[in-house]
């Protein structure tokens, strides 16, 4: 009794009509390294939302404090939240690759925790507590592995027809 089934013609065949070897779907075209995430991870998006919410609350608190208690109260609110300005600028650039933005945001959030504890010691109450809690959440969110992979991803090459037109990729 011989084999009832003939041997396969090409055991490495991939897609129908494509004679080449099958490729692992976890790898990109032509077998180059793994595909990197193309959608912003949830931790990065959550960090953006926290930064923008804190910045809005700071601005609103400063305006309300200035209207009710004078310019000294407005300055106190802005003074205890001064690191949110560069954090907000960095958050608008989170969609671009670059590990420095992540590191700078973690460092600024860590210093903001200390500033928040100072505000709590000064008697800021709920505002200082919110600042400390959100800053701790930012450090945790930005220290995750998926967040690191998002910021360390490669830059997309600029197509030849777009070069010289102000597009930086």
Q: Which two tokens stand for residue 36?
A: 């990197």
**For position 10, what pLDDT does the model report?**
54
The Cα–Cα gap between 76 and 13 comes to 68
Whose tokens are 């991870």? That residue is 41
Q: Which residues pair with 21 in a beta bridge?
A: 13
The Cα–Cα gap between 145 and 36 comes to 13
**For position 37, what pLDDT does the model report?**
47
**For position 33, what pLDDT does the model report?**
54
Q: Which residues pair with 34 in a beta bridge?
A: 27
**For position 133, what pLDDT does the model report?**
94
Whose tokens are 């907000």? That residue is 88
**For position 79, what pLDDT does the model report?**
85
Among residues 50, 23, 47, the alpha carbon closest in space to that of 35 is found at 23
**For position 17, what pLDDT does the model report?**
56
Q: Each residue's pLDDT tens digit in the chain (169 positions)? A: 566 766 656 555 555 555 555 555 555 555 555 555 478 899 999 999 999 999 999 999 899 999 999 999 899 888 888 899 999 999 999 998 889 999 999 999 999 999 889 888 888 778 889 989 999 999 999 999 999 999 988 776 656 666 666 655 5
**For position 41, what pLDDT does the model report?**
92
**For position 125, what pLDDT does the model report?**
79
Contacts of 13 (CB under 8 A, 6+ apart): 19, 20, 21, 22
Helices within 38-168 (DSSP H only): 42-69, 71-80, 84-91, 99-122, 126-142, 145-152
| H or E element in which residue 60 lies | helix 42-69
**For position 67, what pLDDT does the model report?**
95
């Amino acid at each position: 009794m011989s084999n009832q089934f003939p041997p396969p013609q090409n055991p490495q065949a991939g897609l129908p009509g494509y004679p080449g070897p099958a490729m692992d779907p976890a790898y990109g075209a032509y077998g180059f390294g793994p595909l990197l995430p193309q959608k912003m991870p949830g931790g990065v998006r959550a960090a953006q939302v926290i930064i923008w919410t804190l910045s809005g609350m700071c601005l609103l608190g400063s305006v309300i404090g200035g209207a009710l208690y004078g310019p000294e109260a407005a300055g106190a609110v802005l003074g205890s939240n001064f690191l949110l300005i560069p954090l907000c600028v960095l958050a608008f650039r989170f969609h671009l690759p670059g590990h420095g933005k992540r590191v700078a945001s973690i460092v600024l959030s860590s210093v903001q925790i200390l500033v928040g504890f100072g505000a709590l010691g000064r008697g800021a109450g709920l505002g200082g507590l919110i600042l400390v809690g959100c800053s701790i959440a930012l450090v945790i969110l930005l220290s995750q592995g998926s967040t690191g992979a998002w910021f360390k991803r490669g830059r997309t090459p600029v197509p030849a027809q777009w070069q010289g037109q102000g597009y930086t990729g």
